[in-house]
Amino acid sequence: MEASSTRGVQDGHLAFDLDGPGKQRFTTRGNWPGCQRRDIFGEPPTEASGDAPMRGACLHAGPMPTSGSLTFLDALARRSLPLGMRLRLLSALLALAAPHVRGGAQAPPAPPRLAALVSDAAGVRVTTRSAREYAAASAAYRDLLTRLRALDRGSLGRDDQVDYDLLDAYLRTRAFEIDSLRVHEVVPASYLALGATDRLFLRPGAISDAGVLDALAELRQFPAVLAHARANLKVPARTWTENAIAQARYARLLLDEYVPRAAVDDPALKRDLIGAAQEASRATEEFRLWMERDLLPRSTRPPTWKPSDIEFYQLQFEQLDGYGVDQMLRIAEREAVQLTAEMRALAKEIHPSGDLRTVWEQMKDEAPPWEGVIPMAQRYVDLTTAWLRGAGAHVATIPDFDYGAVLTTPMARRTLSFGGAQYGPTVAGRLSGYYVLTPLEPWLTEAEQASRLRSYNPYWTHVISYHEWLGHTAQRAAATQHVTRPMRRLFQSGYFSQSWSFYLERLLEDEGYYDVLPYMERLKTKMARRQMRMWRVQRILTKLKMAKGEMSFEQAVKAYIDHIGMEPTNAFLEVQRDSQNATPPGREIIGELVILQLRDEYKRRMGVHYSLRRFNDQLLAYGDLPFKQIRRLMFE
């Protein structure tokens, strides 16, 4: 755990502050702002406990109050405290300190040379995406690698060795993307990124004018970005260029219809924002026309990456030794056989025919009209929240953040064809995150709208809802609270992010969440979860077989339709999106497997002290790191 977590006490209970070596403190006054009562293991106290004074132990991330505070040694030495209380105080401190420090508690800062390298790496920018900027970035990454390897890794402590390894993987991957993959020459949609502007509309009015200034800067440089895109792009895949043409439409929607409605405090700033959006919109339309006229005819590259490209991410960036392309395929093929058998067994319970396709189609037929989709999604978010605060409190801690189900912002709609997660702004110190649902755009044909709507059936929506809000948003909240070392904030493992949320899908079923549902709804939700799992299996099979030349784009689309009942429009978008990058497709299936291995080891090492919730909470506290490094921080 990177930073000490906040725990609370009742009046008169004992409390500790473990903010770092030599800073342990003790107080006899237990309540202060920000604390929530927890026992010494971070669990909610039980009324049956006979040691109420010690169940108020508190780990506090902020400064402790000075009133009533004294050093740990002074507290033990006080003769006014009964001997039994002093012994219990010492025992409690040891119980708190041991797992906290070994779990990765607030580590001391990195040595100056390593810290400087991390800072320099974070400062590398390709602001306007010019070829010169990419060349300079590549040179900077390679220079940083040379400087990093001049450090004696063996002389570093554990935490610094972890940061060393993360920085090494980060630098090699960034250089690989520029020099070998040359992503900037083949993925046109990557230039249509308007993140600072788009985020103004996830939670309208929440972002201050400081955030609006970020959007203004983004819009002002956007014409230059698109001009450099035309100079950089060489021979993409045709479907990638078609995707960028479609994405340009969403960019125009954002710039022409959303920006004029932006909530801005300063009228002059709003005028500047609208003016910059108009210029950006004109540049976007020119770029779209150029792609149709010039880029599309020469977009002849296959929509695939080499197996070695995918393995670079898997083995070097994610550090998942032993899980190369062939091993991922073997795991996915075994999963596919098992899942098909489970779904067929469920189909026999759901429908008299026992036909899998019939069951899938009937489930999709239960999708509500569009007007009912977001209220339905919010209902599932609330249902899961209530269970996790009641019967499911043993599973994971729900962070205190603002969340809900809302519309997807324009620039995420092409990527998230029927929903996903988006992190919201932090307002008054409160994080926010949302389960977002993509609307039925007016330019879709009636048949396309009907097809898209069927993906919002209650059962898929239910499973996806807690994957998104609890999975991704809880993960972000934990990382924000606990991860303080700059390198661990810079490193973003796509594997951990997706595998944690996917792990929750099965975990909630295993721990009894589905038992609150009516019988038939429970069966159909179980079916939906297996469809979601088969979806991730097909990601592995389709992407890796395409990489090996064993499957075409069209066959990959058909695989999603045939094996999970995905609607054709969504199946096409899934393959199109996933084909645009060389990142490994095993994030969910392989990642969940590694989480379960970690959990088994944690359970074995903890013995009678094992707690599922403590494991899950601890796992989240490391941030988005490779599992190899998480295991090291957890156990070494």
Q: Where are the domains of the chain?
A: 15-102, 112-181, 188-298, 310-635
Query: What values do phi and psi take at 337, rounded to 5?
Result: -65, -45
- Tell me the CA distances in angstroms from 465 to 364, 405, 493, 514, 573, one per residue in order: 16, 8, 22, 14, 20
DSSP state of 106: S
Calculate the CA 429 to chain-centre distance: 20
SS3 27: strand
Residue whose token pair is 């909630």: 508
Q: What is the pLDDT of residue 56?
A: 30
Residue 174, token pair as written in the block: 């960034």
Helix (H) or strand (E) holding 336: helix 325-350
| Runs of H (alpha helix) within 416-518 | 446-454, 458-466, 474-482, 486-490, 494-510
How far, in Å, CA of 475 to CA of 493, rounded? 12
Q: What is the pLDDT of residue 591?
A: 97
Q: What is the pLDDT of residue 93?
A: 43
Question: Given phi > 0 = left and psi -120 to 50 = alpha, else beta, which region is 402?
Answer: beta
Q: What is the pLDDT of residue 419?
A: 80
How far, in Å, CA of 371 to CA of 19, rounded? 49
Residue type (1 letter), 225? V
Question: Which of 318, 311, 309 shows the shortest CA–CA distance to 182?
Answer: 309
- Tell me the CA distances in angstroms from 627 to 315, 326, 424, 481, 614, one per residue in order: 12, 20, 26, 20, 17
pTM for the complete prediction? Answer: 0.82
Question: Which of 482, 490, 629 shows the shortest CA–CA distance to 160?
Answer: 629
Question: Which of 27, 31, 29, 36 shows the shortest CA–CA distance to 7?
Answer: 36
How far, in Å, CA of 571 to CA of 417, rounded? 10
How far, in Å, CA of 193 to CA of 189, rounded? 8
Which of the residues in the chain have pLDDT under 50? 1-81, 83, 85-105
Q: Which residues contact 491 (CB under 8 A, 6 or more apart)?
A: 166, 169, 170, 623, 624, 625
Quick check: 381 and 466 in contact, CB under 8 A? yes
Residue 290, token pair as written in the block: 């150029």
